[in-house]
């Protein structure tokens, strides 16, 4: 990477690979603080993103090298790099992050969901917890409305959820699990 190149990627294929691996646009301005080469952008990515995301990228790069022989004679380091990638990926703050998904349409709910995931991925617990609380309140309100439970705006989460569970129990125990989305 000393010359600015990253393996055998063109700018386009590098951008596509990075997006497929991490869901991030490597050509976003935040990755351009030390020069515009692919190598500098990759270094910026490593310093800005969570260790879990970096570990996933390293693992995907290793797979790419193995499949395409892009690393040339450096294959002897493959196992050492694989151990590093595995260790980085173990730093995942949440194992089932994809479980955080909206239960109704709307751009605001989608943006809130995205914000929760990003906070968790970046290991920002304070921001993530605040956003997650907002997400859960909205999620439970949607469930309440869907099942005919009064979900007035100023009702706290514990009251909403309590009334929702009480409503489901009144329908019978079989409805409880399906009403919660289980």
165 token code pair: 């569970």
- pLDDT bin (cut points 50, 70, 90) of residue 108 is confident
In a domain, 64, yes or no: yes
Residue 23, classed as helix, strand or coil, is: coil
Q: How many beta carbons lie within 10 A of that of residue 18, not counting itself? A: 24
The residue ranking higher by pLDDT, 158 or 120, is 158
In a domain, 5, yes or no: no
Query: What whole-number percentage of the chain has pLDDT above 70?
Result: 82
The total number of structural domains in the chain stands at: 2
pLDDT of residue 182 exceeding 50, the answer is: no
pLDDT, tens digit (0-9, with 9 covering 90-100), for 147-158: 888 888 888 999
In a domain, 6, yes or no: no
Q: Is this structure's pTM higher than 0.75? A: no
Judge if 82 and 22 occupy the same domain: yes
Judge if 63 and 118 occupy the same domain: no
Judge if 137 and 162 occupy the same domain: yes
Alpha helices in the chain (DSSP H): 11-22, 38-48, 51-68, 78-89, 107-121, 125-146, 157-171, 173-179
In a domain, 4, yes or no: no
Question: Domain limits at 136?
Answer: 97-179
Q: Is 72 exposed, middle or buried (0-12, 13-18, 19+ CB in 10 A)?
A: exposed
In a domain, 120, yes or no: yes
Judge if 71 and 111 occupy the same domain: no
Q: What confidence score (pLDDT) does residue 72 get?
A: 58
User: Is 44 within 8 Å of 32 (Cβ atoms)?
Assistant: yes
In a domain, 118, yes or no: yes
User: Is 15 within 8 Å of 25 (Cβ atoms)?
Assistant: yes
pLDDT of residue 129 exceeding 70, the answer is: yes
């Amino acid at each position: 990477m000393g010359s600015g190149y990253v393996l055998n990627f063109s700018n386009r294929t590098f951008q596509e690979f990075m997006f497929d691996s991490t869901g991030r646009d490597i050509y976003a301005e935040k990755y351009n603080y030390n020069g515009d080469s692919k190598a500098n952008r990759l270094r910026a990515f490593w310093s800005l993103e969570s260790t879990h995301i970096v570990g996933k990228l390293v693992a995907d790069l290793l797979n790419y090298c193995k499949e395409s022989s892009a690393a040339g004679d450096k294959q002897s380091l493959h196992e050492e790099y694989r151990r590093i990638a595995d260790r980085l990926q173990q730093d995942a703050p949440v194992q089932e992050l994809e479980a955080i998904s909206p239960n109704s349409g709307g751009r605001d709910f989608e943006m809130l969901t995205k914000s929760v995931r990003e906070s968790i991925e970046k290991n920002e617990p304070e921001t993530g917890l605040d956003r997650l609380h907002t997400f859960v309140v909205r999620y439970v309100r949607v469930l309440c409305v869907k099942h005919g439970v009064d979900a007035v705006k100023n009702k706290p989460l514990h009251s909403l959820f309590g009334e929702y569970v009480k409503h489901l129990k009144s329908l019978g125990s079989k409805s409880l699990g399906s009403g919660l989305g289980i």
